[in-house]
């Protein structure tokens, strides 16, 4: 599946939409994260999630400000 923000989609030409659908995602881009509880810096969300035994989604939600009760004990924030 391919996703786009609606506001971006409505501004795209038909050619840009097809190009986006047919493009391969770039999974090589990594963003470092830091655990604010112990100041450990990880090279990627995946590395941190594997170490703590939690989901990538949980860390990502916290980094993006969507902390809910499921992840309230895991406060993470992304850094560049």
Task: State how far the Cα of 72 lies from the Cα of 47, in Å rounded to an integer.
Answer: 20
1 within a domain of the structure (yes/no): no
Query: Exposure of 62 by Cβ count < 10 A (0-12 exposed, 13-18 middle, 19+ buried)?
Result: buried
| Domain limits for position 35 | 6-78
31 within a domain of the structure (yes/no): yes
Residue 76 has pLDDT above 90, yes or no: no
42 within a domain of the structure (yes/no): yes
Q: How do residues 21-47 score in pLDDT, each as one tens digit?
A: 888 665 556 778 888 888 888 888 888
> In the chain, how many domains are there?
1
pTM over 0.85: no
3-class DSSP state of 31: coil
């Amino acid at each position: 599946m391919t996703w786009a923000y609606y506001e971006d989609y409505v501004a795209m030409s038909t050619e840009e939409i097809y190009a986006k659908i047919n493009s391969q995602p770039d999974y090589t881009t990594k963003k470092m994260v830091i655990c604010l509880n112990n100041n450990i810096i990880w090279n990627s969300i995946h590395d941190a999630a594997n170490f703590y035994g939690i989901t990538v989604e949980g860390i990502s939600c916290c980094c993006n400000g969507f902390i809910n009760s499921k992840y309230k004990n895991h406060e993470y924030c992304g850094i560049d």
